[in-house]
Structure 1
């Protein structure tokens, strides 16, 4: 009898105490749930065993990455409804888990056991990062984390990011393509830093070299770009050589903490500070301050989370930590600006680009979906599913205001306290 979907629906509604807002299609061909609602496909009963052995986000993530869970149709609609089902909003500090109905937990476990089968726990998908060595955010462990995320193939990133090869939010004007919006973002950074011919720029977390190339080509800067990813560095060096800019751009595989050839006129840090870690953030700010000349500028482009009422309750998202950005941590905007100012920098401008990142992510998801077979060939089915889920869920989080992204312009004042900035600090916004 094909009845797995009705049984799963009844189980979920009994546990959560609310009607299920999605439709379930099970491995036995059965379906249940509201007609016309987004469809969650449970392709294999193994997904239920994962939830038995690892309840919560990791169990769900493992089932998704393994291809045992999937979406039929609108992924964004499915994720929105599931997020509303699993999480409750709490005024002022984001979200909290919806409490399960305790009397039903034991009965639910028995039902999952009957549906999923009493077998050993399935092994985690290969895409999950499980072995980490060294202290959190040590140089060795940071190299491991960066390699896990970025060294998955430059061809794969070309497929998703497009010709710009920029892996941070673009800066859109009405009707702009992704490539144009990414160029506009790079130029916005360059103009905020007031780059001019001969200025020394340090690009921290230089990625595939796009900011370095733009700064040298369009503004005449002399650039040092540092990254921990060997694949990124090789790709960036090739681009530099092809554009004939080797005399202006040096790409290094180097930890920013090991840069010793300051002072620099300007520093750009675009989408890198998320990897630093809360315990190391003051060190990051202090190091960048020391690398700037008096009057030098820093542009810090960073994703921020909403502050919690009780910061001790903050936890790193387990799916992101295991599959996407190992050891990555998001800080509230206020904590970031405070660390920069404690280091001796003066924060002069903050620009929020939250909606721009949502648009960027939707472009990336569309590119991944349009080239799905090639993305799978270049990486693995699991890796492609990781990126699709993470980018789509992140787009929704930016749209709903759960996370944001900000460009912070700071300056190292000279001995007389002079910033060197114009009276109209937004002169770059045209």
Structure 2
């Protein structure tokens, strides 16, 4: 047992048929792998037990959140090296290279697999793994995307403390990607994104704006303060609503901005001139997306504009692939689903919208996530005090892995501008694409 790392490395490479791109350090202090590579640290046998009982992403996630598995060195480099092996599906869309190797060995009754399993069981020890970390959730509140279940999913993610979110997101409290230039700060990038949305929506003083999934009120405040737009913001998070209402009051905007704890499906006080949905549609789900698009269309008056800012996934043959990964589902966004851009555009058109512009901004999300990770790392002790060490580990991995996914074009993010075009066909938008009217013009 004095060289556990070498044995684990050999077993993994024999099963996968490729060299491991990272080094391994085991609980006995042994280390093996390519020199200079990030080191995957197994702090105890419990990490191996979790992987044996739940092979794949969920076992890795539990070991990571529990602190039994760690990375020494550049976390982004480690995730980038492992992405093609563990997370990214092959050309046939069927499975990751790692999953295909294990399935092939099982199907063929490969004796290597039985031998490897016996060796791993000896190394891991006879005891089953401990219970999943406390940060893991499995929603048991009825079918997917009912009002009750969506409320529980949103509460799990957002009601963990506004002070924690402010450490990560910064003073803007904007939980979607900024809009960057090479020399932007995080705050400047977020302000630029809020203003871009308002300009794409062609907001004028007096235009009614519905902000679906309004978060902590950043867009609502900006639209009211900079454009004179009356805004209704809706969220399912009570903590977000409390923060947003205080912010509105502090800005002296209570006559223009109303914040509600309300499901978007229960908003009935249209017509609105514009609707913004920023980072919310990922929670809607495939089975509800046509209903979502239809309801927003009905809430707009003729000529009303929708700005739908949404994370997308590359098209895949397997419908199940649109559910978020096991780690994200259990620890970050329960019940989240990512759809390809084409499906989103098609559904909006099917609901009656005229899609006028699509802007892909995935690199902007990678830049934003790297800043959020830096904020978390700079304030790690305070973040652990406000939540838990496990929660901080969840967020560090989720944000870093998401940044790598955006950089590798595994996922994207798009702003789709759509109009409820009136019968006379006059959309009211500029003739030239992307020439969004600057504030104060016409």
Deviations 1:322-367 (A, max 9, x none): 1111000001111111111111110000001011001001111111
What does residue 318 of structure 1 align with?
Answer: 326
Question: C-alpha distance in 1, partners of 2:422/2:211?
Answer: 22
Question: C-alpha distance in 1, partners of 2:136/2:88?
Answer: 28
Moved more, 305-314 or 73-82: 305-314
Q: Does 1:137 align with 2:145?
A: yes
Deviations 1:240-290 (A, max 9, x none): 111111111000000000001000010000000000000000000000000
- TM-score (structure 2 length as normaliser): 0.94
What does residue 26 of structure 2 align with?
Answer: 26
Q: What is the aligned counterpart of 2:115 among 97, 107, 110?
A: 107
1:120 CA displacement: 2.4
SS in 2 for 1:70: strand
Q: What is the aligned counterpart of 2:287 among 279, 292, 300?
A: 279
What does residue 35 of structure 1 align with?
Answer: 35
Moved more, 14-23 or 257-266: 14-23
SS in 1 for 2:421: coil
Q: Does 1:161 align with 2:162?
A: no
Question: C-alpha distance in 2, partners of 1:23/1:318?
Answer: 24
- Count of aligned positions: 430
1:121 CA displacement: 3.0
**Contact 2:273 2:304 (8 Å CA) reproduced:** yes
Deviations 1:97-126 (A, max 9, x none): 432252222222211211111112310011
Moved more, 112-121 or 144-153: 112-121
Question: C-alpha distance in 1, partners of 2:206/2:433?
Answer: 22
What does residue 74 of structure 1 align with?
Answer: 74
Question: C-alpha distance in 2, partners of 1:372/1:313?
Answer: 33
Question: C-alpha distance in 2, partners of 1:349/1:95?
Answer: 33
Question: C-alpha distance in 2, partners of 1:193/1:72?
Answer: 46
What does residue 126 of structure 1 align with?
Answer: 134
Query: Within 5 Å, which residues of 2 pair with 1:168-179?
Result: 168-179=176-187
Question: C-alpha distance in 2, partners of 1:3/1:15?
Answer: 19
Question: C-alpha distance in 2, partners of 1:316/1:425?
Answer: 33
Q: What is the aligned counterpart of 2:414 among 406, 419, 423?
A: 406
SS in 1 for 2:96: strand
Q: Does 1:55 align with 2:63?
A: no
1:417 CA displacement: 2.2
Moved more, 229-238 or 25-34: 25-34
1:29 CA displacement: 1.1
SS in 2 for 1:41: strand
Structure 2 residue runs of 5 or longer lacking an equivalent are none
What does residue 230 of structure 2 align with?
Answer: 222
What does residue 294 of structure 1 align with?
Answer: 302
Question: C-alpha distance in 1, partners of 2:20/2:272?
Answer: 56
Residue 185 and residue 313 in structure 1: after superposition, are their counterparts in 2 closer, same or farther (change >3 A)? closer
1:93 CA displacement: 5.4
1:89 CA displacement: 5.5
Residue 26 and residue 429 in structure 1: after superposition, are their counterparts in 2 closer, same or farther (change >3 A)? farther
SS in 2 for 1:100: helix
SS in 2 for 1:122: coil
Residue 184 and residue 7 in structure 1: after superposition, are their counterparts in 2 closer, same or farther (change >3 A)? same
Residue 176 and residue 39 in structure 1: after superposition, are their counterparts in 2 closer, same or farther (change >3 A)? same
What does residue 83 of structure 2 align with?
Answer: 83
Query: Within 5 Å, which residues of 2 pair with 1:89-100?
Result: 90-91=90-91, 96-98=96-98, 99-100=100-101
1:91 CA displacement: 4.1
Q: Does 1:211 align with 2:219?
A: yes
What does residue 391 of structure 1 align with?
Answer: 399
Structure 1 residue runs of 5 or longer lacking an equivalent are none
Moved more, 238-247 or 112-121: 112-121
**Contact 2:323 2:338 (8 Å CA) reproduced:** no
**Contact 1:188 1:429 (8 Å CA) reproduced:** no
Residue 158 and residue 85 in structure 1: after superposition, are their counterparts in 2 closer, same or farther (change >3 A)? same
Moved more, 122-131 or 401-410: 122-131
What does residue 377 of structure 2 align with?
Answer: 369
**Contact 1:190 1:215 (8 Å CA) reproduced:** yes
Cα RMSD over matched residues? 1.6
Residue 281 and residue 89 in structure 1: after superposition, are their counterparts in 2 closer, same or farther (change >3 A)? closer
